Chain A
Amino acid sequence: MQAALEISNLRKTYSNGFTALKGINLTVADGDFFALLGPNGAGKSTAIGIISSLVNKSDGSVSIYSHNIDTDFSIAKAQLGVVPQEFNFSIFETPMQVVMNQAGYYGIDRTTATQRAQKYLTLLGLWDKRNNQNRMLSGGMKRRLMIARALIHEPRLLILDEPTAGVDIEIRHSMWEFLSDLNNTGTTIILTTHYLEEAESLCRNIAIIDGGELVENTSMRDLLKRSNREIFVLDTETPMKYYPEGMSNVTAKDESTLEVEILKGGNLSEVIMALSKQGFTITSMRNKSNRLEQLFIDLVNDGHKNTGDSRE
């Protein structure tokens, strides 16, 4: 399968001597929905900056659909759309002006640009606000405007750097739906996010970057298979007068909440039955944290132990 993005030995050392990327190799297949995760300062935004030509690399190469960003920059850039982490449009312009200008920078004629502007501003719920000044838009609207702007030239590869940061849950879910639909129509998507349930539910493949190095690069399914434990939170019907006995994997968190740790292959229903025999009535149950979150923490912590970085 053709690669949408090929990164080879990518290095970046800033002028202050800080090395943000230490030779990353990464391939993202055409049509993939790919998660690029990492803690703050791991190098994700630097990598995205280099791919989108906003950061000068120190070494290595980047190709978008086999077009090198240095030697074949015009075609490479035409295939790429980027939604940055920070707002980077003029607050005095309107959403319509922003997307129309962006179309112009890609050499798209005015008739086509107008049709696409209407399409994407409507899809992202901004058509009614098209003539408002950008400074009057809410945070969620500004994020959606950057997505509309990144799509105006209909790129084959879309990179989103924390697109749902700071937006409410309803908008976040509508953005997930929009991105899934976009991916289903053939657009390759690379997503960075700190909401790990977002990556888990949307992405098929994942890379984790930490300290400028790739610490994991695999499919989401394979990564999640490695998870060997899961914690469930159980709510009891009435406040507990005593705590469960003889169950090492059950911990009482307060007088009406229990936490149960289930190891891979374990049986949750047996635990609930045992609790029931001891007189506990369970009224509700939920996952304490998603599996990816635990794996992410484990992987990053392992990396820090190996490098002696405690990050307390």
Chain B
Amino acid sequence: MNSRELWISFQTIVIKEVSRFARIWPQTIVPPVITTSLYFVIFGSLIGPRIGEMQGFAYMDFIVPGLILMSVITNSYANVSSSFYSSKFQRSIEEILVSPTPEWIILAGYICGGMVRGIGVGLAVTLVALFFSDLAIHNLFVLCSVVVLTSILFALAGFTNGMLAKSFDDISIIPTFILTPLTYLGGIFYSVKLLPDFWQGVSLINPILYMINAFRFGFLGISDIGLVYSYVIILVFIAILFFVNFQLLRRGHGIRS
């Protein structure tokens, strides 16, 4: 395929993915916005004033970046894992596999679809957050780059889950038992500096901690982690997951006999 044909193929996968989640927006867009709004109401407006300030910021302002990034993470992940597994289950993935579309375009198309949903839901949550908090942007480049890289990373992770899943249960186990706990323990609601030394050390093995802190730096200019470490961790995970997914696709794991 020449570059124009590759572009058409990539576009087709992305448009198909975006159409899929847009068609079922009451299941894909609305629930995360409502859930995050409840966090703003309960933790921000009701409990937040009693907690007071966190690292010099009102508690509501402190938790907003983490909650936005949480919605980006879960939606980027869920879109790719469920969509790819469904196409495996219905065998419609064979439509792409019999075509000349190379593996890296398939991967890029699905990842881009996941990014669109993740960042789209993130923007919707940000709009809701404006009702509760006076959001100021400290560093736009950090803000944008972290949200884009994080959505790429979790879309890739969702793709791995979709490739390896053998049943619909398998695509809910990872988000429930690994992704959600890591997100909550990644410093959305607190600064890891509040933890005892031992638990601070344990927290450092959680990659989501680095993303949330970098994203919070973009909004508030504060972070528990050095910015460079955050970028390195995110880029390393992206490289590893891209390689893993590319190999799984080339071998046709679970999609070719």
Contact = CB atoms under 8 A, between A and B. Distances in A.
| B partners with A | yes
Interface of A: 14, 46, 49, 52-56, 73-75, 77-78, 80, 82, 84, 86-92, 97-98, 101-102, 104-109, 149, 153
Contacts of A149: 95
B256 interface: yes
B95 A88 contact: yes
B100 interface: yes
Given A89-B90, A101-B12, 11 more contacts: A53-B97, A75-B100, A90-B86, A92-B23, A102-B95, A102-B99, A104-B12, A105-B9, A106-B100, A107-B100, A109-B8
Nearest to A75: B100
B257 interface: yes
Given A54-B257, A88-B90, A91-B90, A106 B99 contact: yes
A56 B96 contact: no
A252 B90 CA distance: 51
B8 A104 contact: yes
A107 B257 contact: no
B144 interface: no
Interface of B: 1-2, 4-6, 8-9, 11-13, 16, 19, 23, 86-87, 90-92, 94-102, 251-252, 256-257
Contacts of B91: 86-88
Nearest to A100: B12
24 contacts: A49-B257, A54-B257, A56-B256, A74-B100, A78-B1, A82-B98, A88-B94, A90-B90, A91-B90, A101-B12, A101-B16, A104-B9, A105-B99, A105-B101, A106-B5, A106-B9, A106-B99, A107-B1, A107-B2, A107-B5, A107-B9, A107-B100, A108-B5, A109-B8
Contacts of A107: 1-2, 4-6, 8-9, 100
A84 B1 contact: no
Contact of A101 (B1, B86, B95): B95
Contacts of B252: 56
* Interface majority SS (helix, strand, loop, mixed), chain B: helix
Contacts of B2: 107
Residue with the highest number of chain B CB atoms closer than 10 Å, among A52, A89, A102, A104: A104
B256 A77 contact: no
Nearest to B94: A88
A202 to B, nearest CB: 23
Contacts of B99: 77, 102, 105-106, 153
Residue with the highest number of chain A CB atoms closer than 10 Å, among B8, B16, B94, B98: B98
B96 A105 contact: yes
Nearest to A55: B257
Given A73-B100, A101-B95, A106-B100, A54 B256 contact: yes
A52 B87 CA distance: 18
B197 to A, nearest CB: 49
Given A91-B90, A101-B16, A53 B11 contact: no
